[in-house]
Amino acid sequence: MSSIVQQPVSIFNEFDYITEREQEVKAHTGSVAFDGLSEPILLAQDMSGGCGGKIWKCANVMIDYFIWKNVQSNGTLFKNQKIVEIGSGTGLVGLAVAKICPEIKQMVITDQLPMMDLMQENIKLNHLEHSVTADILNWGEEIPNLSQVLGADVILASDCIYLEVAFLPLLETFFALTNKESSVIYLTYKKRRNADKLFFQAAKKKFIFKDVTEDPKMNNYKRDKLHLFSVMRKPLNQQQLQDLQKAKSNTTTTQA
């Protein structure tokens, strides 16, 4: 029986595992328009630092859904909430959400070090320095207690399921970031390989997945094997709660 293999996650400079390899793009700056946004998003794309340096279709799914959802919410979507995007790449999703939902409390877009300059450039291009910050987040690594990515109300993950070696580190990061009981993950996913089911088999042991279907455009996306899920951590049982309290107590003692 196949299982997830845990290995260190390196910088993703190889594209052989991605079926849309023919869609690699040259470094350039342009604009991306969405129905429902009053102005396009200015975006630099550069794949020299990894596959995250271009726009992927999953981003459109998430952005279109949030535009629609914000209308349904009378413009109050994510009001006063802290949002963290992982695997941000260009930062398109996080930047779009910051424009869709100007009353968010904080937006942090994250990726590995090679993406930092690109994310920061795109924040500046869209004049969102007051509401969006970029930070380094390597999946599977321990997150410092004072990190700005902790305590998020909403976690965004667009097209992060594509490399089997990253499945466990991604799940570990999901678990670390959902440290608030009410934290919700929005996850967009494109089915590429049968191995992807290993991720979902492992993830469903700790998380509850809900297929988001209310967006009027969702049927069109699903024809292209694109999916959107809302994900929440399963409640901890009594033993897990005791283990967590013990771990927190040990951490406090060590810091003292």
Q: What is the pLDDT of residue 249?
A: 60
Question: Strand pairing partners for 232?
Answer: 208
| CB contact burial 229-248 (16+ within 10 A = b; e otherwise) | bebebeeeeeeeeeeeeeee
Question: How many Å apart are CA 152 and CA 171, to the nearest integer?
Answer: 16
Residue carrying structure tokens 């509850």: 208
CA atoms within 13 A on the CB side of 148: 15
Return the percentage of the chain with pLDDT > 70, whole number: 82
End-to-end alpha carbon distance in the chain: 46
Question: How many Å apart are CA 57 and CA 20, to the nearest integer?
Answer: 10
- DSSP letter at 185 equals E
Annotated binding-site positions for S-adenosyl-L-methionine? 56, 87-89, 111, 139, 158
Q: Which of 138, 125, 129 is nearest to 50 (CA)?
A: 138
Question: How many Å apart are CA 154 and CA 101, to the nearest integer?
Answer: 13
- DSSP letter at 202 equals H
pLDDT tens-digit map of 118-141: 999 999 999 999 999 999 999 999
Question: In the predicted model, is pLDDT for residue 232 greater than 60?
Answer: yes
User: What is the maximum alpha-carbon separation in the chain?
Assistant: 55
Question: How many Å apart are CA 122 and CA 111, to the nearest integer?
Answer: 14
- For 71, the 3-state DSSP assignment is helix
In terms of pLDDT, which residue wins out, 8 or 59?
A: 59
Question: In the predicted model, is pLDDT for residue 3 greater than 90?
Answer: no
- DSSP letter at 77 equals T
pTM: 0.85
Q: Which of 11, 180, 15, 33 is nearest to 96 (CA)?
A: 33
Comparing 7-16, 130-139, 169-178, the range with the smallest average pLDDT is 7-16
In terms of pLDDT, which residue wins out, 161 or 251?
A: 161
Annotated binding-site positions? 56, 87-89, 111, 139, 158
Judge residue 252's burial from the number of C-beta atoms within 10 Å of its C-beta, 0-12 exposed, 13-18 middle, 19 or more buried. Answer: exposed
* Average predicted confidence (pLDDT) for the chain: 86
Question: In the predicted model, is pLDDT for residue 19 greater than 50?
Answer: no
In terms of pLDDT, which residue wins out, 33 or 246?
A: 33
Those residues whose C-beta lies under 8 Å from the C-beta of residue 195, and which sit 6 or more positions away, are 2, 164
